[in-house]
Structure 1
């Protein structure tokens, strides 16, 4: 039986035991390069990491065929047809963790008579089948139940059967505003390499009209593109930012992008780092140095809890989520969300962060961008596409649950009990954005949503206070809020 192994942009694992001496096809497949006008830095990141990976695996495999995005074989159906015409009868692949890509591979192989051999992946801690008991066996799919199971299963931060520190989560301690005169840790940029340079030129040549600032040596963020660079990046986080990750993980600063966040997801989501490596590094640091339990638990929760939870939701509920629109939001994505000209200071500043780097942290995504898009009643499909286009760490498995479930509550409550919306007060409380005209608009949109869906907010015990606060306002104030909101929406 003659076989070939396809490796996609998100499968760049350092462990080569499963592909040693294979005939490799390293593919800039359409779904990762051509499906949308992806951010220039995401395209360049994939190009640089893949070309570096090509050199990394070359001594260990039988042959490498590198397929560029602008060539016919970047289409999976065409590639499988090509392989079949060259007497390949078995395809070796890692699990794709991508519904569209998986369908393409299976349909292509079925039509050409190729067998599929799935080889072990390192992208997640849990195999998909290991998650079935939770996601198929529970009507309530809330994260905190899943997270407790994960802690027990992987025996992390446990003292016997009880959680270290006496509680499962210290999230209540992790909501501090960043102190006014505190200097955030300096992020050490990855070294600029010939792979970065070549990828930047390649992106401008073939994707020059895409969104975002290009990859450049003088950018304030240069992402790691090899396993060694990723390990250095991880070490920098655990040594300099982990200890205060917890208290400031929800903090927002208008002129800061990273603060104490790890910014590991670009590398984690393509295999340059694995969750096992990240957990090991964090626990080693905690063993040798004092890491407060709220920071240690808070970060571990992101890796073994939220990331694995999103993976499971996507696999078992993703198709249902991506077809949902419980609030019947229909507005297309306004142009202002692509150029940072909505007129709302926190939204525009956050968009500029994303345009310059392909990144902003999770609270900015949820409580600035997602929150405001919900208040503007933008269609969840448009929100999904926007995040897919502009974020360097965005993949289908990431964005379907996070957008349709968490950010836009389009699934009606599969993963949470209420939509994550707020007025301007929350943004000002958690950030250093100054008050301004944007507050009046934001609050108008917020109260408009409460008014429009008053029965829902009144009858949900977690949102009843929102409805009560609206009903207590006098008629003149209500009319003023609604008028401001309608004026803004009319101009979007």
Structure 2
């Protein structure tokens, strides 16, 4: 076998640029996607079922397809490539993996084993690094809004005849922050009837990965291109209209709200961003979708998603080796069991167990926010998010954890850490502020008091950083004006909670 196309679990594109009918194909449950961490069971089900469905589709189209399961020692790429080289491999065809570890495995083995690599651009993104180089060259910091506006201008998206943004401004983010009305009930997600691949994948995961986090019984994600397109069309028809206004809302009553929930499908190639942008613009015009919904969705795909990938490719190695705050606290088991005693955190962990998914504000302003206030080691935070989320990949989580949520890179892509007290959560969600937890000393305290104590403690410990920024410095001044007894109480509660974390394995 002199030439071969290799397809990894996150590259199920069709058409696929590396496919050639006369060239054999291998699908591989590579270790980085199956065994590197204890990934959520539903993520493994998604990968297994979608890979098997993709295999069936390719074979029906006349391709010769081999499959390597995670139970096979050859699922570790280096071992498999050595076997291929021994059998005469001369050229390996593949899509750019947008994964630093995978790229290193490929290039290192190709050099050592003396075979060629033929790499193709990924259809999973709107841009190649070559295309954005003129914009990003010589930049030492990265700002999503700048890139997003440039992207819109380059592609003539949502511009008027004069090249100005439709609606008079580039972003309607300030119109994406409404609290979800108690009386409202969002449209349900489509129900995915388990096909034979899903049924087999559930058995496979339960048998081979029984100790991984998460439940399998609630699995309800598309695993074929056809299912994914139906899922996407359902969003356009039922949830797109109110996506914008409630984009940042949180509620314990509803998991999905008006979100598209397409990131798990985009990130493995069952959907592609070019299709989503095209459809969103067309439906936005024909169905008169509110501009804050249309622009908000375009910003998520063409702005944030592309931006995160580019930051990863350019700065990921640097980011993942940073720890600006020098935090070393380990995440205790309560963040896997959902027994932290902090109402919003425990609720979201229970949601993750069932669905392997929460939306972006819950990740950033609840989970990431609280983990930063707890001073967790950013490497631990990265691993936690990688294990719990169905749409987690290295390119997603390195910038989002080390940059966005933990500010471990010191401000490479944000000007300030995303932290808040409990007021923000209560403003944007229906969290029960009466919920309490018992500390080790027997005292019963509200979760809001712990959260606020951690917030002001963080502000006090890092006051040198915050005072450098005039707007953030106002918070330090607020702290200094706080009633001394109130301040003492908050710090005592915060320290008691952190001590409790340290004693929990």
On whether the aligned pair clears a TM of 0.5, the verdict is yes
Name the counterpart of 1:371. Answer: 369
| Preserved CA contact (<8 Å) 1:23 1:61 | no
Deviation, 1:17, is: 5.3
2:472 to 459, 463, 466: 463
1:482 aligns with 2:456: no
Deviation, 1:387, is: 0.3
What's the secondary structure of 1:116's corresponding residue? strand
What's the secondary structure of 1:459's corresponding residue? coil
Deviation, 1:14, is: 1.6
| Preserved CA contact (<8 Å) 1:143 1:309 | yes
Q: How does 1:279-290 map to 2 (within 5 A)?
A: 279-290=277-288
1:23-48 deviations in whole A, cap 9, x for unaligned? 10100000000000100010111000
Residue ranges of structure 2 left out of the alignment (5+ in a row): 435-445
1:127 aligns with 2:128: yes
Q: Distance in 2 between matches of 1:188 and 1:132?
A: 40
Name the counterpart of 2:163. Answer: 161
Give the 3 Å change call, closer, same or farther, for CA 42–75 of structure 1 in structure 2: same
What's the secondary structure of 1:65's corresponding residue? strand
Bigger mean CA offset, 265-274 vs 82-91 = 82-91
2:266 to 268, 282, 292: 268
What's the secondary structure of 1:249's corresponding residue? coil
Q: TM-score, normalised on structure 1?
A: 0.97
1:146-193 deviations in whole A, cap 9, x for unaligned? 001110112111113211111000001111000111111111122221
Name the counterpart of 1:419. Answer: 417
Name the counterpart of 1:138. Answer: 139
Name the counterpart of 1:25. Answer: 26
1:280-314 deviations in whole A, cap 9, x for unaligned? 22122112211010110011000000000001000
Name the counterpart of 1:444. Answer: 453
Deviation, 1:61, is: 4.8
Q: Distance in 1 between matches of 2:298 and 2:490?
A: 41
| Preserved CA contact (<8 Å) 1:135 1:313 | no
Name the counterpart of 1:362. Answer: 360
Q: How does 1:196-207 map to 2 (within 5 A)?
A: 196-207=198-209
Q: Distance in 2 between matches of 1:292 and 1:318?
A: 36
| Preserved CA contact (<8 Å) 1:344 1:438 | yes
Name the counterpart of 1:337. Answer: 335
2:214 to 191, 212, 217: 212
Name the counterpart of 1:47. Answer: 48
| Preserved CA contact (<8 Å) 1:19 1:61 | no
Name the counterpart of 1:12. Answer: 12
Aligned length: 488
Residue ranges of structure 1 left out of the alignment (5+ in a row): none
What's the secondary structure of 2:146's corresponding residue? helix
Q: TM-score, normalised on structure 2?
A: 0.95
| Preserved CA contact (<8 Å) 1:418 1:462 | no
Q: Distance in 2 between matches of 1:435 and 1:2?
A: 64
What's the secondary structure of 2:215's corresponding residue? coil
Q: Distance in 2 between matches of 1:262 and 1:426?
A: 24
